[in-house]
Each structure stands twice: as C-alpha cells, then as structure tokens.
Amino acid sequence: MKGLLIKDFRLMKSQINFFIILTAVTVVLAVFSDNPSFVPGYLPFVMSVFALSTISYDEFNNSSAFLFTLPVSRTGYALEKYCLSLILGAGSWLFALAVTTVSGMIKGTAVFSETAAAALIILPFLFISVAVMLPVQLKFGGEKGRIILMIIFGAVFLIFVTALKTGEAIGNDIQAISNPLSGVNLKALFAGAFIAGAASLLISMKISCSVMNKKEF
C-alpha cells in the first residue's frame, strides 16, 4: 500500500498549480467571507473528490492491467484509495480549520470552540461522501463514474429541497422542526453521526474490495 500511496502522490505532484490555487482560494474565503465556517467543509470535499482522479490516471490506456502484474493485490488497491482520500480530506480539513480559526481570531468574529464545533459536523459527511463515491468510481470508471455520481448527488439535493418545500407547504417552518432537536444532547448527536460515517466507510470498503476482485481488465 505504501508504494501505491507514493505513486498517487507523485501523480498529484504534476497538479501542483491546482493545489496552490486551491490553497489561495481557501485563504481568501477565510479572510474575506462574513461566514467562513463553510471553508472546512468545502476544501476537504474538493480534495477527496480530487483523489478520485487518480483512478482515472490508473485506467488511462488500460494501465490498470499492467499495474496488477506488479505485486499489488486488488484488495490493497481498493483500500489504498480510501487511505488516500482520507489523508487528503483530513489534512485539508485541518488546514482549513487552522486558517479559519486564525482568520476569526484576527478579525475577532469567532472563537476556536465555535469554529471547531462547526468543522466537526463536516467530518461524518466527508466519510459518507467518500463511502459513496469510491465504489461508484471503481465500478464504472472515470467518465461513467462521474456521470453517475452527479446523478446521485443531484437526486439527494432534489430530495432535500422537496422535503423543505413540503414542510413549508404543510406549515412546518424551520423553527418548528428545530424545536424537537433543542433538547437533544449534541455530544450524543455528534457521536451518532461519527458512528454512522465510520460504518458507511466500512461497508463501502467491503463493497469496493468485492468490485475490484470481480473486475476484468
């Protein structure tokens, strides 16, 4: 797995300009935005998605067939993609959290505990996003995988919007919906979200390993 990680990081090294621009955008958003709390969610998601591009590189000109002539197992390949996505996601999350915290302290608009709490909410969603994206990408490849992912996330967005519109139509506003949650222990809520995210990752890993072991090159 170490060799696969080194390979992917060297592949991403050729995209250094993209990372520089992304870092600059993150700093600008954290400094000039009135509500920079979304930054720790934006950057990890983009970086995790970028990790999927390494699968497209591996499939270019049927390079995967050559890759598996080397001492690389299919299960190890699948698990390495999860490690890469989580390394990039967690690393960029920490960077975005640090930039947002420093910016908030300088401007006097936020304290670390509030920023950290907002950022922690992002992590379970990051886990679930990786859990959904990787099996699809491994199963259908680069081009088809991106189309299917767009359809999946588009459907989720439409369901969310429809639920909100339906709630408004029957007279349930945001305040009425949030009141029952006011007594919920936030620590228990965070713990449940993390457990759900971790469980989705484990299930996703099992699916991805099965996909890779059945895939023909």
131-156 per-position pLDDT tens digit? 888 888 888 876 666 676 667 656 65
In sequence order, what are the residues at sequence separation of 6 or more whose Cβ sits closer than 8 angstroms to the Cβ of residue 174? none
Q: Which residue has the tokens 């990790």?
A: 51
pLDDT at 202: 93
What ranges in 71-184 are assigned the alpha helix state H?
Answer: 74-107, 112-169, 174-178
97-144 pLDDT, tens digit per residue, is 888 878 777 776 655 566 677 677 788 888 888 888 888 888 887 666
Angstrom distances, CA of residue 153 to CA of 58, 149, 184, 205? 25, 6, 28, 20
Greater confidence (154 vs 18) lies with 18
pTM of the model as a whole: 0.77
Greater confidence (201 vs 185) lies with 201
149-178 pLDDT, tens digit per residue, is 667 656 655 665 565 566 555 554 444 444
